[in-house]
Chains A and B, each alone.
Chain A
Amino acid sequence: MKVVELGCRETGGSRSFWRMLSGSGRMALAVLATMAMIALAAPFVCRHSPRIASGPALAAPSAAHPMGTDELGVDLWAQVAHGGRISLLVGAGTALLAGFGGAAAGIACGYRGGLADRLTMRLIDILLVMPDLPLMIVLAAFFGPSVVTIIIVLSAFSWVTTARVVRGRMLTLRERRYIKAAESYGAGTFYLLRRHFLPEIMPLAAVGMIRLAGRAIVAEAGLSFLGLGDPASRSWGLIMHHALSFRGIYYTDFWQWWLVFPWLALTLVVTSLALIGRDLERMADPRIRRRGC
């Protein structure tokens, strides 16, 4: 997974990274890794199809259907497993797009400055104060729901935080003596990037990306839950949306599996990402590490 690789480069060795994680961080990483693997191997792990009815409607969990079935008789386990793919896609996609995009923007603005920097900061200010969910709802409503649209819209919002943080770090870095010294030796931008900037920025960007992934997954789930998700996907939010739209959901106990399992999946992913994010934050900031906050 992307997370571990970046952490390795930063801390020098996957074993030391594992050791640096707290107990909860390790558990979170394990859970996340398991869920990702299930999602990726979904067609092989599930006996039934996520789209076609394969059993009685609203059946309780059993040996044949470990998570039960929904109102159409479609296996829930298959839906949840395949739904994980959407979350994975949205999370990773947004994190990469917004993360790298934001980092790149931050580096460019922080290092070069000038008019482009000022304009970008204005843009960031505007995007920061806009409430993202209403705008995302509006955009999704107008442009139609699809996973790609959602990724693009989410990225368009999320790149700003990373950009801001990275820019701030770049501003400090730019003034460091060793950068000035390297510049006076004739170092080009590419060299500075490779040798000095990226190693400093990577930890920041990594933490940002974890945050981004978590928020993107929640945002996609929220949109799907509202009914704005891609109807062709089987995202967890959409499953919950269908469940809640079912008349009588409150008076029966179908919710005990139809709602609970996607809910559980979502909560696990979000919490794990949050824990890993906090651990990474702790590792990246020597002050917090020392104080043990």
Chain B
Amino acid sequence: MGQRHTTRFCEYLFTILVVLSLNFVLPRAMPGDPFLILSAEHGEEIARFSPAQEEAYRRQYGLDRPWPVQYASYLGGLVRGDLGYSIYYNQGVTDILLARLPWTLLLVLSAVFFSTLAGCLLAGLSASFRDSALDRLLYPLMVAVAEIPAFLLGLVLLFTLAAGLQLFPLSGAMTHFADHGSLWGKAVDIARHAALPVLTLTLVRTGSMYLLARNAMITVLTRDYIRTARAKGLSPLRIFARHSLRNALVPIVTRVFLSLGGLVGGAILVENVFVYPGLGRLMRESVMVHDYPMIQGIFLLVTVTVLSANFLADLVYKRLDPRIGESAEVRP
């Protein structure tokens, strides 16, 4: 099994290397002079770069030096944690990323948690009372929910609950310049701001989680070992908790890890709908002002995170299911 881990690890490492190289190649492979576009006008955001800033860019990218040297210094910088310097924000990329990352994590992790919980509970009900009225109602509803794109759903919630009914704030992660009496007050404020984005992401994810969990549970219930457990006269609770759940958990848990990739994409869009100051919003802002180091930094961070989640999924799957040998792949 150790050998298998190493192989997968190398594969992921290789993928990261590909991503890094892509990051390296892209700005240098762009058609035309990158700095022609540096002064961008887009909508209401105007960025004009002074010659000094352009010079800073040039130096940063080291465009006057041979490519292998550039690559080496690029990798060297990465190892040191230096993701470059953002001209627009006038700060190190790493610093900005670290400041904004927690908000995205809040959204994503909350959404994963709630959607898994809701999906599994509803699926448990559905599987236990299969073909009942409840099941027949839930199933198509969840199918529909699973297909709606996150940002469309977010827009609905934004305009009905926030702008319309004014139940939730329209944007931001916290009320600026507000003085909360206690930690509790601050927490409530953050929760109010995060509610709609989290709700959006959760709803979107619950549909597919439900479908997966329901399928897993139904499959497990038909298995012979459940019949054996009942023949042994074990209590229904034990059969459910120890025999059914344990087996159904395997595909569910792996899916949770694997879905992080899709959730990140959804989060990027949803953050922009709700103007939530996470990495997604940052990415858009950087794109608007053509802040290439920032764009690359975000891209790198997001990709590495998703890849790590996939790798974790592999590990977890192996631990949960002792049957997995050398040749199995993680099947979501």
Contacts and interface: CB of A to CB of B under 8 A. Distances in A.
Q: Do chains A and B touch in the complex (CB under 8 A)?
A: yes
Interface of A: 122, 125-126, 129-135, 137-144, 214, 218, 221-222, 225-228, 240, 244-245, 250-251, 255, 259, 263, 266-267, 270-271, 274, 278
Nearest to B263: A131
Nearest to B266: A133
B149 A226 contact: no
12 contacts: A129-B307, A130-B15, A137-B287, A141-B287, A144-B31, A227-B288, A240-B155, A245-B44, A263-B155, A263-B156, A270-B147, A270-B149
B43 interface: yes
B295 interface: yes
B298 interface: yes
A250 B163 contact: yes
A131 B303 contact: yes
Contacts of B29: 142
B152 A267 contact: yes
B124 interface: no
Interface in B283-323: 283-284, 287-288, 290, 292, 295-296, 298-299, 302-303, 306-307, 310
A226 B147 contact: no
Task: Tell me what chain A mostly uses at the interface: helix, strand, loop, or mixed.
Answer: helix
B120 to A, nearest CB: 19
B148 interface: yes
B186 to A, nearest CB: 25
B143 A278 contact: yes
B269 A222 contact: yes
Contacts of B15: 125-126, 129-130
Contacts of B283: 134, 137
B152 A263 contact: yes
Interface string B143-169: 110011101100110010011000000
Interface string B265-280: 1001100110000000
A125 B163 CA distance: 43
A133 B268 contact: yes
A263 B159 CA distance: 12
Contacts of A218: 149
Nearest to B307: A129
B18 interface: yes
Interface in B241-271: 261-262, 264-265, 268-269
A244 B171 CA distance: 12
A259 B303 contact: no
Contacts of B232: none
Contacts of B268: 133-134, 137
Contact of B31 (A139, A143, A251): A143
Residue from the set A131, A222, A240 with the largest chain B CB neighbour count within 10 Å: A131
B170 interface: yes
A137 B26 CA distance: 12
Contacts of B310: 129
B116 to A, nearest CB: 19
Contacts of A135: 299, 303
Given A227-B284, A228-B287, A278-B143, A131 B43 contact: no
Given A130-B303, A135-B299, A141 B290 contact: yes
Nearest to A140: B287
B106 to A, nearest CB: 19
A144 B67 CA distance: 24
Contacts of B299: 134-135, 137-138
B118 interface: no
A259 B159 contact: yes
B287 A226 contact: yes
Contacts of A133: 264-265, 268-269
A76 to B, nearest CB: 16
Contacts of A221: 149, 151
A224 B48 CA distance: 23
A266 B152 contact: yes
A81 to B, nearest CB: 19
Residue from the set B27, B162, B287 with the largest chain A CB neighbour count within 10 Å: B287
A125 B314 CA distance: 13
A135 B284 CA distance: 13
Given A130-B303, A131-B306, A138 B26 contact: yes
B19 interface: yes
Contacts of B287: 137, 140-141, 226-228
A293 to B, nearest CB: 8
A134 B284 contact: no
Contacts of B178: none
A208 B261 CA distance: 20
Nearest to A225: B151
Given A138-B26, A222-B269, A129 B155 contact: no
Contacts of B156: 263
B26 A245 contact: no
Contact of B159 (A144, A228, A255): A255
A228 B286 CA distance: 12
Given A227-B284, A255-B159, A263-B152, A129 B295 contact: no
A126 B18 contact: yes
B147 A271 contact: yes
A225 B147 contact: no
Contact of B272 (A130, A138, A144, A226): A226
A271 B148 contact: yes
Contacts of A250: 159, 162-163, 170
Contacts of A274: 144, 147
Residue from the set B152, B156, B163, B310 with the largest chain A CB neighbour count within 10 Å: B152
